[in-house]
């Protein structure tokens, strides 16, 4: 007697139907914009344009968009102007959640923020009582950032600065 062996691949096969997978109930996670920004005013300008575009594309209201871009511009320009960094320094890193509440995190390798500025975070911003033409050119950025933010945290850790800004929207 002789038996015939038929390979499985030539045997008639049943079609396998995939079992349905139940939908996952995951919470909404806001998108995050992450940027590496060169240490120059022009790089900050381009970053602010990118931030504005990302906010617009993710449905930010005009008032929130303007507030967030202004806060980011001031904070980034402060790093560039006062951080003691060179254009060859590591880039400034920015992370922004693209949904309210808006969280901004700025990381840089610049100088430590002066204690006098941190103390000024606890005082309200008021315009100086003088004529417009007599106003100083600078010195308002940190207080403006503070007044436009709902929460502001600064930490210096292992040679780096981390600024966290929350805008409730």
In sequence order, what DSSP letters do the residues of 47-74 get, joined into one string? Answer: HHHHHHHHHHHTT--HHHHHHHHHHHHH
Residue 106 has a pLDDT of 98
Residue 5 has a pLDDT of 44
pTM over the 0.85 mark: no
Residue 114 has a pLDDT of 79
Q: Which of 100, 40, 35 is nearest to 65 (CA)?
A: 100
The token pair that represents 149 in the structure block: 């933010």
Residue 94 has a pLDDT of 98
Mean pLDDT per 10-residue run, the chain (169 residues)?
A: 49 62 68 95 98 96 96 96 91 95 96 72 57 58 89 93 94
Residue 1 has a pLDDT of 47
Residue 3 has a pLDDT of 44
Residue 50 has a pLDDT of 98
């Amino acid at each position: 007697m002789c038996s015939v062996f038929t390979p499985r691949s030539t045997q008639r096969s049943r079609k396998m139907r995939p079992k349905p997978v139940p939908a996952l109930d995951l919470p909404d996670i806001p998108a995050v914009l992450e940027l590496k920004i060169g240490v120059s005013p022009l790089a900050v300008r381009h970053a602010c344009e990118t931030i504005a575009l990302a906010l617009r594309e993710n449905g930010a209201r005009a008032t929130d968009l303007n507030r967030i871009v202004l806060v980011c511009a001031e904070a980034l320009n402060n790093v560039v102007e006062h951080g003691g960094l060179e254009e060859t320094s590591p880039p400034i890193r920015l992370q922004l959640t693209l949904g309210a509440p808006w969280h901004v995190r700025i990381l840089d390798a610049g100088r430590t923020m002066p204690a006098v500025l941190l103390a000024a975070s606890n005082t309200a911003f008021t315009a100086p009582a003088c004529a417009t033409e007599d106003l100083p050119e600078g010195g308002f950025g940190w207080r403006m950032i503070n007044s436009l933010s709902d929460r502001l945290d600064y930490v210096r850790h292992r040679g780096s600065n981390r600024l966290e800004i929350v805008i409730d929207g």
